[in-house]
Every structure is written in structure tokens, then in C-alpha cells.
Structure 1
């Protein structure tokens, strides 16, 4: 199972939110590039970056500078989500050297456009499906749609064969250190053949083992690493990603 340590960016700093609430922010570092090096030195083979400012339409300039610094600091694939809503943004971010982009709100609101972008950039765009009680949330999780997450996943697969992955986040679990929603993840995994990346709630090594046992292809881990609930080398070993 692939492990993606998360680096969430707000105003150029490394932070974590609880359930996507911008008023419940914890700052974990002023230097995201140093944080990226920390995870790579610990064995990470890839990193998941989130631009929290761009996700809700704020100025992303500080975070883009941080992303550039991360890309210069480490030599592992990095994917970025947050505010990816236009052809120009996709072209700019991929040109920076990011390996993959995560498209959230626009995949729901403009599925034809998203499918066209996936076809234009095969294997470089993932759908970020964030769910609140099974319904897709958008705009930095500030809005909840009436579209079931599974319906969106199936619709996107019908539109394009070139979607790299689905990053599936249960908002109720995100940043809460209460374990992942295994039932929801299994339901999503069964709904489509798009590779699934589990996100939200992974807290203990038993959680990691449960995802491995459920044959999840990948998982994003954030707060539990920052607060020391999980040790990245141990996580990588359980996931089968430890360095020989």
C-alpha cells in the first residue's frame, strides 16, 4: 500500500485542520520544505500537498512559493490538491514539476471539463472526492452537495479512462484521530475500478493494518504523524513500503 504523508499549506505554513474547519487550525511548522525533507528522510516515497488557501478561493501566492520550495528540497513524486479549477492552473502546476494534481470541486461541478483534462493529461489528474455523510462536499468543504460520493465516482469513470486515482476523504474523520471509515472506503472501492487513496482518520498502526487487509491501494496520513501517534518507518513497514 502506498503511503502519502500530508503537508497541508495555509499562508505558506504547514498546518492541519480538524474536519476541514479553518477556525480549528494547528500550525505544525513554518518551513514546509523542511517538513518535506523530514518525511523523506524518514522513508517517504511520495508526498501529498494541499493548498488550503486556493481551495476556498484565497490568494495562493504564499503556498505556491512553499510548493516550489518543497519540489526543490525533495526528489520524490508530489501531488497537490486545492484550487485546481482551470486549464491554466493545471498547466502551471504540472510545469512546476508536480507529479499529479487532485481536482475536487471542479470534478463535481464540471465533470465534462474534468474528463477532458484527464484525457489531455493521462494519469496526471486524480479526483478528490470529499464526503460529508456520504454526500460530496466542495469549495474547501464549505458546501455540501446533493450528489452521493459513489454516484460521482461512477459518473467520472464513465467519462474518462485516464483518471489517475480517487482521493476519498470522510470529512467526519479528517483530523479527528478516530480511525478511518472502513465501511465507506470498501463501498467506494467496490463502486469503481479507479485506484482508491484512503484519506482521513488514520491514527494507529492497527488502522494502517486494517487498510492493508482491506487491500486499499494507498493512504494519506496527516495529523497522526505530526502528533506522534504514528511512526512513519513503522507505517511504511506495515504497508510494505519500507526501504530494504
Structure 2
């Protein structure tokens, strides 16, 4: 199972939010490159970046600069989500050296456009499906749609074979240190053959073991690494050994 340590960026700094709430933010330092290199030294082979400013329409310039510096400092494949809403943004971000982009709101709002972008940039675009009570949330999690998450995943698969992955997040679990929504992940995994990345709530080594036993292709881990609840070396070992 691939492990993607998360680095959430706001105003160019590494932060974590609880349940996507911008008013429930913890700042973990001034330089996200420091954390990127820390995770690399601990065995990370890839990184997951989130542009929290772009996700809700704020100025992404400092976060994009931070993403570029992370790519250059580590040389690791990095994926970035947040505010990827048009082809100009896709071209700009891939031009920074990012390996993969996560498209969230526009995958729901313009599925035909998203499918066409997947075909134009095969293997470089993932669908970020963030769910609140099973329904897709958009616009930096500020809005909740009436579309079931599983229905969106199936619709996207019917449109294109070139989606790199689905990044599936249960918002109620994100940043809460309460464990993933294993039932929701299992339902999503059985509903589509798109590679699935578990995100949100991965807190303990037992959580990691259970995801491996579920044959989950990948998992994003955030707050539990920053708070010291888990050691990344142990996480990587479990993901590689089981």
C-alpha cells in the first residue's frame, strides 16, 4: 500500500484543519519544505499536498511557490489538490513538476470536462471525492451537493478510462483522529475499479493494518503524523510488509 503523507498549505505554511473547518486550524511551522524532507527521511516515497487557499477561491500564489519548492527539494512524486478548476491551472501546476493533480469540485460540476482532461492528461488527474454523510462536498467543503459519492465515482468511470485514482475523504473523520470510515471505503472500493486512495482519519497502526488487509491501494495520512500519534517509519513498514 502506498503511503502519502499530507502537507496542507495555507498562506504558504503547513497547517491542519479539523473537518475542513478553516476556523479550526493548527499551524505546524513556517516552512512546509521542512516537513516534506522530514517525511522523505522517514521513508515517504510520495507526498500529498493541498492548497487550502485555492480550494475556496483565495490567492494560491504562496502555496504554489511552496509546492514547487517541495518538489525541487525532495524529488518525490507529489500530487496536489485544491482549486484545480480549469485547464490553465492544470498546465501551470503540472509545469511546476507535480506528478498528479486532484480535481474535486469540477469533477462533480463538469464531469464531461473532467473526463476530457483525464483523456488529455492520462494518469495525471485524480478525482477528489469528499463526502459528508455520503454526499459529495465541494468548494473547499463549504458546500454539500445532493449527489452520492458512489454515484459520482461510477459516472466518472463510465466517461473515461484515464482517471489516475479516486481520493476518497470522509469529512467527518478528517483531522479528528477517530479512524477512517472503513464501511464507506469498502462500499466505494466495490462500486468502481478506479484505484482508491483512503483519506481522512487514519490515526493508529491498526488503522493502517486494516487498510492493508482491505487491499487498499494507497492511504493519505496527515494529523496523526504531525501530532506524533504514529511514527511514519512504522507506517511505511506495515504498508510494505503485510
TM range (shorter): over 0.9
Matched with 1:95 is: 95
For 2:145 and 2:190, the matched residues in 1 are separated by 22
How high is the TM-score relative to the length of structure 2?
0.99
Counterparts of residues 156-195 of structure 1 (less than 5 Å): 156-195=156-195
Counterparts of residues 113-192 of structure 1 (less than 5 Å): 113-192=113-192
CA displacement 1:160-207 (0-9 Å, x = unmatched)? 000000000000000000000000000000000000000000000000
Matched with 1:212 is: 212
CA displacement 1:60-105 (0-9 Å, x = unmatched)? 0111111111111101100000000001000111111000000000
CA displacement 1:122-159 (0-9 Å, x = unmatched)? 00000000000000000000000000000000000000
Counterparts of residues 4-15 of structure 1 (less than 5 Å): 4-15=4-15
Matched with 2:41 is: 41
CA deviation after TM superposition for structure 1 residue 241, in Å = 7.0
Q: 5+ unaligned residues in a row in structure 1: which ranges?
A: none
For 1:59 and 1:77, the matched residues in 2 are separated by 24
Q: Is the 8 A contact 1:5 1:48 kept in 2?
A: yes
- Residues 1:73 and 2:70 are matched in the alignment: no
* 1:240 counterpart SS class: helix
Q: Is the 8 A contact 1:2 1:241 kept in 2?
A: no
Q: Structure 1 stretches (4+) deviating beyond 6 angstroms? A: none
Report the number of matched residues: 242
For 1:87 and 1:35, the matched residues in 2 are separated by 29
Q: Is the 8 A contact 1:52 1:82 kept in 2?
A: yes
For 2:189 and 2:37, the matched residues in 1 are separated by 32
* 1:29 counterpart SS class: coil
How high is the TM-score relative to the length of structure 1?
0.98
